Chains A and B, each alone.
Chain A
């Protein structure tokens, strides 16, 4: 009768596998972000237009690009969880959401600290900044919806539907915001990072983008493991762990 409790292979295996992967991700993330940031801060040449303030892009651009990538990863695993009812996919999505929100917040703040010396103002209603702000709201909506449900199986399904609705809407929001800012914005203010970048600047940037990706992977694994434990509290193997670690 208690057979299914012992056929715990699935979550336990996911827990152990992510435990094995975690050190690799953590090591790679630390190394890449360390190299990229030091290279960017110390060795990369000065930009002749923006001076040293441009060194912010070595974290701003990775954060901005990863904020969207993290959303896509979250929505994909939410979709897998909804359609094929794979519970570890739901847990992975729940693990990614707060990380994505923090990364998006970092992208916004670093964007503002870059904007102040460049444009003389902390915030402009630039299309990219606005779209990033909306993305932050989407993340916050998903996180608080997930937190609002007592039953986390339902919470994952509800947040998953919202994440998928968000995926359909992100391109529409992005397009409309871009179109809107082209209407209202005088064309003098433009982020010109697309201009050909010398390779000495490009390498640290690419390293940092990769490093941010690894870092998100590592933190996701940490949270994923905690999520597995929290959702499987009634299984014997988790109880063993709890008895070993739990305090009196």
Chain B
């Protein structure tokens, strides 16, 4: 009965389980995506169909919608595990907690972030996004949505044991999302003017690296509080 699981194996075991559960529970993948699409389609109805206006607001609309969709889907990140006791088992497993947390966030991002990135260009077409901006849109979403997942997971970890989630969660994490929103939308704006935007991407990349390193510890500490 020897113990011989490496950290890498433990990481992928957890990742695989979470993906497996989500695939058997397809609503978790499609609901946030549907929300994202619906919010974006509401905007032309709200501000009018003029292509100039829409292409001006397109980066902001897509990003705000992505932000809300990410937050909405995150609410379920630890909930099921908390309810059925898996979370306690995760905290008590001999594997390092930040690593386990990272696996869960990664699984969540694969399930909700990636589909969102894939569907974003289609929505950009509906909003008449400038032709030069597609690359920037995809790049900022690819670098930015993991940051959203990591930061959001802190808020989710803090509120997972509470009965009233929703509004409190948005109050906790939306302020933290502001920098990502600012740099992502201005990168897209810059690209539409044919200006270089690699600096913006570098800053978002730095945020990604920073949150990859620090967020798992904050999430782990928060989970220990929530399961107390």
Contact = CB atoms under 8 A, between A and B. Distances in A.
**Chains A and B touch each other in the complex, with CB atoms below 8 Å apart:** yes
Interface of A: 134, 137-138, 140-141, 144-145, 148-149, 151, 154, 157-158, 161-162, 164-166, 168-169, 172-173, 175-177, 179-180, 183
Interface in B167-210: 168, 171-172, 174-176, 178-179, 182-183, 186, 207
Interface in B152-180: 154-155, 158-159, 162, 164, 168, 171-172, 174-176, 178-179
Nearest to A170: B175
Interface stretch (B21-29, B62-70, B74-82, B219-227): B219-227
Contact of A172 (B171, B207, B218, B221): B207
Contacts of A137: 171, 174-175
B158 A161 contact: yes
Q: Which of B162, B174, B182, B214 has the most CB of A within 10 A?
A: B182
Given A176-B183, A177-B182, A158 B176 contact: no
Given A176-B179, A177-B178, A145 B172 contact: yes
B172 A149 contact: no
Nearest to B179: A176
Nearest to A156: B225
B54 to A, nearest CB: 19
Q: Which of A165, A175, A177 has the most CB of B within 10 A?
A: A165
B178 A176 contact: yes
Given A158-B225, A180-B186, A183-B186, A145 B175 contact: no
B164 A148 contact: yes
Nearest to A135: B175
Contact of B182 (A154, A166, A180): A180
Given A148-B162, A176-B182, A169 B222 contact: no
B164 A162 contact: no
A134 B179 contact: no
B101 to A, nearest CB: 14
B158 A158 contact: yes
A154 B176 contact: no
Contacts of B179: 169, 172-173, 175-176
Contacts of A144: 168, 171
B220 to A, nearest CB: 10
A176 B199 CA distance: 13
Nearest to A181: B182
B228 interface: yes
A140 B171 contact: yes
Contacts of B218: 161, 164-165
B168 A158 contact: no
Given A161-B222, A177-B182, A169 B158 contact: no
B200 to A, nearest CB: 10
Given A161-B225, A168-B214, A138 B175 contact: yes
Nearest to A153: B228
A137 B168 CA distance: 11
14 contacts: A145-B168, A145-B172, A154-B225, A157-B228, A158-B225, A165-B154, A169-B179, A172-B207, A173-B175, A173-B179, A176-B182, A179-B182, A180-B186, A183-B186
Given A141-B168, A148-B162, A148-B168, 20 more contacts: A134-B175, A137-B175, A138-B175, A140-B171, A145-B168, A145-B172, A149-B162, A158-B158, A158-B222, A161-B154, A161-B158, A162-B154, A162-B172, A166-B176, A168-B214, A169-B176, A172-B179, A173-B179, A179-B182, A183-B186
A175 B172 CA distance: 20
A133 B178 CA distance: 12
Nearest to A149: B162
